[in-house]
Chains A and B, each alone.
Chain A
């Protein structure tokens, strides 16, 4: 009666799958997913993005490591994402252990559970993953039967708030040391060595941090007095890992293709890593240094292969600042000529608006529907100098003017509030700039423009991050952030073209929590656990975030949240993340902090080397 090919066994019953939202989140089976025979592999690795499937599947880093790990015959890398609260409840009630998508077997049976840490507000989801997998939350409570839990990604540059929950962290770019880690694991496994022995030896691999092998002491004022390894053969400093041959480094030629619509539903072509700009608030711009380009011929070949292997209808360039890629014109022309006729969309995020980009956008977008985007980040030139964002009002007006002449009438503007040294005048400059853009639009004769213009202003609140020149900065209480948004909102209403302006601002409560987690130390771990145990998951989602639950947790754990947010740090304070050598030196960052305070602009890497410290990696822009 029914066609019966061999049916894959699922961890969840049909009854459960037919009752949860989007069952496709939990069944695997995607095009280009990898199935191996468990009997033929020595190492089972489960890679986790601790957020919902649609977000996790959009992440490039996991696709790279998934491909790289599975290229090894002895490793089977699978995936798991955070079960949405509907399934979370069912897994708890029916006592079903969390499972990986490919084998549908319990995560707990793996050798490694790798969790990527992309933003702080997913920390409670990390605990959800461990809990649902039935892995003890605290690393010291785990034994030989449990997977080794390894963290990576940008938030691992300050791993301390999560140090209780991870056996090890990988600091830097995953392409470089996982082979060494897997080889070590194999050797220790064969020789019958213990978990403890493995961790001790792993800690000697460059870039690997095993938090249980380090101790922290504190001054009476709460700041760190010392941080050091407990054994003499364990490195004092952890060097971040950076790929040195960006062109030839492993890259997935057959990315996964989800069945359901995900956030990044397209092929992603990473054109370069790092950024030459040196914006002082931007962590990515510091930790991914030095800027390294992929050769344009390799990119053309990758684009062809990835589109063929996925059948995706869109390709997106990925980088922190696409306009700085030296062969951009050649690459984009190739993509348009080769693929646009075949119905493939080309998306070009992070492009500077100039005649070239507008010309390209006219070819690949519907001018009437799309908008052009600027991220001045600050409204006044003074403030932009403080943050070292080299975008001037003239260049914004010129770019917008060109776009308007070509038919665009929608502009999106992104800013931050709560930056160091910010004054009411800086805040009021935001709507003024938006108004100037509208003025520029209405200079076009009525018969040549496309109705009214729409200028959307969005502000987020600035959160100081480790390894940035602003790592010394203080934050503000939630009410202060809201009052700053109000100053902007009031100023919007005073503008001549107010009817063409729209203003959105972010929540303030979550900003404060993000700030604590970003620069927190080992003591903050207890707070995260308390929040999770009191029902906190999906804190990155407005509908699930609960500020009071976090404040209660601080109270119950006897930890003062203001210690992490309300202080401007001293020059010589030891930060929780100081043991990591991210390439950029603390001296360089301090120099940049002082430049910020003086409002002086620092030239970008292409203009003049600033001696930030990453030249020692011997690659990329530093070698030109």
Chain B
């Protein structure tokens, strides 16, 4: 049996590439591995596939500074060289920013994802429907004051009630140069996955404001694991 190494790759997704969906991003990186001569491991069986798993899918239209996937490789060149050979073959709008050799016993990225944080801002051509002060007050009434914030979450199969108090770790409105945006740190992962659109929609509806998903730009800052004490970006997590 050959011994393989686990690698965690971090990348940014911006510009035009925000229109490429999650499944196509996986296909994109499978090809990129070959172009960059990364000696990735393949599964056994008749149609072998690359050992590659993504941390947290990113929706179409969303940009990100912190996307992650894990791969297994036979050998690896030093991280700086691997980053360079990957970036030499990237499309505009994707940049590999980190390449970490993980300990052999590291859990895979998908299983440790606990949170992700986002900036959500109005599109340039979109006038905010309320003032900064109104949003601050709205957030206070909607989120900070209540003991629980129950909303309905629609999944493919069913609708269930969730408590935002337990799943929204941070949320605040911000104003820079007269433009209003929202920052939020949300529970992410296979069990309690929360999307920023849903949080904002609930806030808007509590304030009696109409909500159009199209009116916003969403940017993911990073994805985090939780070691029981604090949230750590996946790229720095070694467990």
Contact = CB atoms under 8 A, between A and B. Distances in A.
Interface of A: 1-5, 7-8, 10, 14-15, 17-19, 23-24, 27-31, 257, 259-261, 307-313, 342-343, 345, 366
22 contacts: A2-B63, A2-B65, A3-B63, A4-B14, A8-B15, A8-B16, A15-B214, A27-B19, A28-B16, A29-B92, A31-B89, A259-B28, A260-B20, A260-B24, A261-B24, A311-B33, A311-B36, A312-B31, A312-B34, A343-B48, A343-B49, A366-B46
B27 interface: yes
A366 B95 contact: no
B14 A29 contact: no
B32 to A, nearest CB: 6
A10 B30 contact: no
B129 interface: no
Given A24-B19, A366-B46, A366-B47, 11 more contacts: A1-B119, A2-B119, A2-B219, A18-B60, A27-B19, A259-B24, A259-B91, A260-B24, A311-B33, A312-B34, A313-B34
Indicate the member of A5, A261, A343 with the most B CB atoms within 10 Å: A343
Contact of A29 (B32, B63, B91, B214): B91
A354 to B, nearest CB: 23
Given A5-B93, A31-B31, A343 B50 contact: yes
B128 interface: no
Nearest to A367: B46
Interface string B124-135: 000000000000
Contacts of B27: 259, 261
A307 B20 contact: no
Contacts of A311: 30-36, 89
Contacts of A23: 19, 60
Interface string B108-124: 00000000000100010
Interface in B52-67: 60-61, 63, 65
Contact of A309 (B35, B50, B61, B214): B35
A312 B33 CA distance: 10
Contact of A343 (B42, B92, B214, B219): B42
Closest 8 CB pairs of A and B: A311-B31, A311-B34, A311-B35, A23-B19, A366-B46, A7-B15, A259-B20, A343-B42
Interface in B65-113: 65, 89, 91-93, 95
B17 interface: yes
B76 to A, nearest CB: 17
A343 B43 CA distance: 10
A27 B18 CA distance: 11
A309 B37 CA distance: 11
Indicate the member of B16, B35, B214, B219 with the most A CB atoms within 10 Å: B16
A15 B49 CA distance: 36
Contacts of A313: 30-31, 34
B6 interface: no
Contacts of B28: 259
B8 interface: no
Indicate the member of A2, A4, A7, A310 with the most B CB atoms within 10 Å: A2
A15 B214 CA distance: 6
B122 to A, nearest CB: 13
A157 B194 CA distance: 58
B24 A24 contact: yes
Interface residues of B, number: 36
A31 B17 CA distance: 12
Contacts of B93: 5, 29
Indicate the member of A31, A307, A308, A311 with the most B CB atoms within 10 Å: A311
B12 interface: yes
Contacts of A14: 61, 123
A5 B92 contact: yes
A31 B119 contact: no
Interface of B: 12, 14-17, 19-20, 24, 27-28, 30-36, 42, 46-50, 60-61, 63, 65, 89, 91-93, 95, 119, 123, 214, 219
A361 to B, nearest CB: 12
Contact of A308 (B35, B48, B63, B119): B35
Contacts of A312: 31, 34
Contacts of A260: 20, 24
Contacts of A3: 12, 14, 63, 65, 95
B119 A27 contact: no
Contacts of A24: 19-20, 24
A349 to B, nearest CB: 18
Contacts of A10: 16
B31 A257 contact: yes
Contact of A18 (B17, B31, B34, B214): B214
Nearest to B34: A311
Indicate the member of B19, B30, B60, B61 with the most A CB atoms within 10 Å: B19
Contacts of B12: 3
A5 B34 contact: no
A18 B14 contact: no
B107 to A, nearest CB: 25
Contacts of A343: 42, 48-50
Contacts of B19: 17-18, 23-24, 27
B98 to A, nearest CB: 14
B181 to A, nearest CB: 8
A196 to B, nearest CB: 40
Nearest to B213: A18
A601 B50 CA distance: 50
A403 B219 CA distance: 54
A425 B48 CA distance: 47
Contacts of B61: 14, 18
A437 B36 CA distance: 47
A59 B119 CA distance: 41
Nearest to A364: B46
A1 B49 CA distance: 36
Given A3-B65, A7-B15, A15-B214, A30 B91 contact: yes
B34 A27 contact: no
A30 B48 CA distance: 25
A457 B24 CA distance: 34
A308 B34 CA distance: 7
Contacts of A366: 46-47
A451 B48 CA distance: 26
A612 to B, nearest CB: 43
B124 to A, nearest CB: 10
Contacts of A345: 47
